[in-house]
């Protein structure tokens, strides 16, 4: 494996993070995640932990990879002209996506990653919440938990990473946000050790931010109307991941394992031509009240 000592330590730490997340999520669901190891021809590989038709999760994946090579993907070369084509690189990360059965439980995404090529290195990641029938108190809890983690490392982090998330998880062709945001960061290269500590802290913060929402909403009664709307809104998730998502682009351009890359897609989706939610409905309130930039962490009403 083409990696520095720090790169190897980071990969080992992220492998442990994957196991920890799967154990906690399996405890919440009642079923264990499967285990699928894969190898990449050019170098490296990964482990895909996937659950389908669980007690709580309709589909979910906690994905680990550690890959290397010398043919840098175009998405990296475009963003980093200082990295010469042909420079050996190493990349490792953990990515998580959960699509619950219950439409009142939000979909959630979490990702942390490390990249090095020659003398260049950086960290990236974040997490964001995509509710279908949102509750203000859930959004506030999610954002305040993320802010508390960021503040432990740098009081400026949340103020930088929250609007970055709002901008990144935005469907430009639709003119709307994917969800209620969270944090997103990329190209963080201040300090190798501190960057790793921050990634691992975010892994613990994910459980603190999301699992209480899951427990609070997983038994909320719902019917076909709510499931239909969930499927409709999942279409936005698919559009974002296939058009804009940098992780998807990097995975495909680096010839990663397609099944693992696309495990982020929901199992059931629908597109309805030019559909509009009824005025005053809960479905309309999602767009009107939640899919707009808001300072959830500072919300004094909750």
| Structural domain range at position 194 | 5-298
**How high is the pLDDT of residue 1?**
55
Please determine, for residue 22, whether its predicted confidence score (pLDDT) is greater than 90: yes
Average pLDDT over residues 95-99: 97
Distance CA 154, CA 226 (A): 40
Residue that has been written with the tokens 């079923």 in this structure: 31
Query: Is residue 109 annotated as part of the catalytic site, yes or no?
Result: yes
Residue in the block written with tokens 């995975």: 251
Q: Which residue has the higher pLDDT, 191 or 95?
A: 95
* pLDDT confidence bin for 72, thresholds 50/70/90: confident
Specify the long-range contacts of residues 296-299, CB closer than 8 Å, at least 24 apart: 296/139, 296/140, 296/142, 296/143, 296/144, 296/180, 296/181, 297/140, 297/143, 297/144, 297/146, 297/147, 297/158, 297/162, 299/136, 299/139, 299/140
> Quick one: pLDDT at residue 25?
98
CATH number for position 196: 3.40.1500.10
CB 94 within 8 A of CB 18: yes
* Overall number of domains in the chain: 1
pLDDT at 2 over 80: no
Catalytic residue among 6, 80, 101, 109: 109
Query: Where residue 98 falls among pLDDT bands split at 50, 70, 90?
Result: very high
CA 181 to chain centre: 11
State the pLDDT at residue 280.
94
| pTM for this predicted structure | 0.94
Average of pLDDT values for 24-37?
A: 96
pLDDT, tens digit, 9 for 90 and up, residues 121-141:
999 999 999 999 999 999 999
The percent of residues in the chain predicted with pLDDT above 70, rounded, is: 99
**Residue 85 pLDDT grade (very low, low, confident, very high; cuts 50, 70, 90):** confident
Average pLDDT of the residues in 236-252: 88
Token pair recorded at residue 301: 């009403």
Q: Assign 252 a pLDDT band (cuts: 50, 70, 90).
A: confident
């Amino acid at each position: 494996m083409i990696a520095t000592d720090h790169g190897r330590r980071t990969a080992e730490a992220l492998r442990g993070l994957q196991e920890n997340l799967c154990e906690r999520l399996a405890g919440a669901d009642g079923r264990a995640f499967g285990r699928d190891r894969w190898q990449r021809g050019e170098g490296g590989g990964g482990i895909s932990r996937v659950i389908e038709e669980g007690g709580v999760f309709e589909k979910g994946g906690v994905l680990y990879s550690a890959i290397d090579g010398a043919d840098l993907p175009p998405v990296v070369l475009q963003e980093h002209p200082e990295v010469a084509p042909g420079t050996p690189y190493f990349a490792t990360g953990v990515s998580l996506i959960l699509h619950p059965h219950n439409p009142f439980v939000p979909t959630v995404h979490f990702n942390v990653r490390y990249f090095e090529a020659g003398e260049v290195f950086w960290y990236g990641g974040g997490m964001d919440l995509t509710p279908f029938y949102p509750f203000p108190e859930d959004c506030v809890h999610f954002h305040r938990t993320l802010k508390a983690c960021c503040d432990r490392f740098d009081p400026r982090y949340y103020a930088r990473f929250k609007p970055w998330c709002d901008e990144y998880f935005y469907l430009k062709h639709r003119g709307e946000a994917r969800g209620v945001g969270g944090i997103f960061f990329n190209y963080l290269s201040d300090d190798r050790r501190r960057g790793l500590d921050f990634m691992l802290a975010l892994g613990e913060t994910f459980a603190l931010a999301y699992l209480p929402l899951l427990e609070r909403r997983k038994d909320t009664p719902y019917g076909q109307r709510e499931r239909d709307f969930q499927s409709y809104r999942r279409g936005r998730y698919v559009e974002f991941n296939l058009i804009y998502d940098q992780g998807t682009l990097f995975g495909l351009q680096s010839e990663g394992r397609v099944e693992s890359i696309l495990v982020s897609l929901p199992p059931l989706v629908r597109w309805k031509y030019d559909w509009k939610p009824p005025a005053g409905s809960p479905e309309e309130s999602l767009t009107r009240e939640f899919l707009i930039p808001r300072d959830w962490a500072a919300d004094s009403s909750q």
